[in-house]
Amino acid sequence: MKKVSIVVGLVSLLLSASAGAKAPRLHLDVETAAGKTEQVALPLEGGSPFGQALSRAQLNGSTDADVATLKKAWEQVTRSGGAYTIALDSADARLAVSEHYGTATIQKTPFGTTGKHVTVELPAAAMDALLAGAGSNPDFDGALRALQQRGKGEAIAVEGSDGGKVRIWID
């Protein structure tokens, strides 16, 4: 979670100059397994330097294969009209992807005793936009635009088996 703290602080600093009084804000709460909470609110106006910063950031533990696997699973879920949960196995974990009532759910469950189970929930429109990037590049700007169009409310929830949680919402 130390890396998350650094990214949150850096992004907050980068965006503080563009803050507007009436602009919608993206709120990010990070709660570690130890109970420590960090919060930041970022303006969402005009272009999206936040999405650009995320696009350039090294995602912790993410690989091109992970993004390709997620795209493949999401394509299968959307082709089924959300009727199926698609589970794909890699050497070390199972990735299960589903969609119900406009919410995409991603669950990564490690095999064996190492690794952490992680569940992510986000609007299906944001998932579509996120995975619309070319090749193995997630489109964070597109995902943020989709969240903005959705309006106020909780946008993304992440929970790990270690008790860590991330909650993102727009006011």
Residue with more model confidence, 13 or 127 = 127
What Å distances lie between residue 141 and 111, 134, 145, CA to CA?
Answer: 33, 13, 6
- Give the Å distances, CA to CA, from 69 to 34, 48, 77, 93: 31, 26, 12, 12
Q: And the tokens for 61?
A: 């533990």
Q: Which residues contact 157 (CB under 8 A, 6 or more apart)?
A: 120, 121, 122, 165, 166, 167, 168
- The residue extents of the domains of the chain are 2-170
**pLDDT value for 161:** 86
More confident residue, 40 or 123: 123
Report helix angle 140-150 to 49-56, nearest 10. Answer: 140
In this prediction, residue 129 has a pLDDT band, given cuts at 50, 70 and 90, of: very high
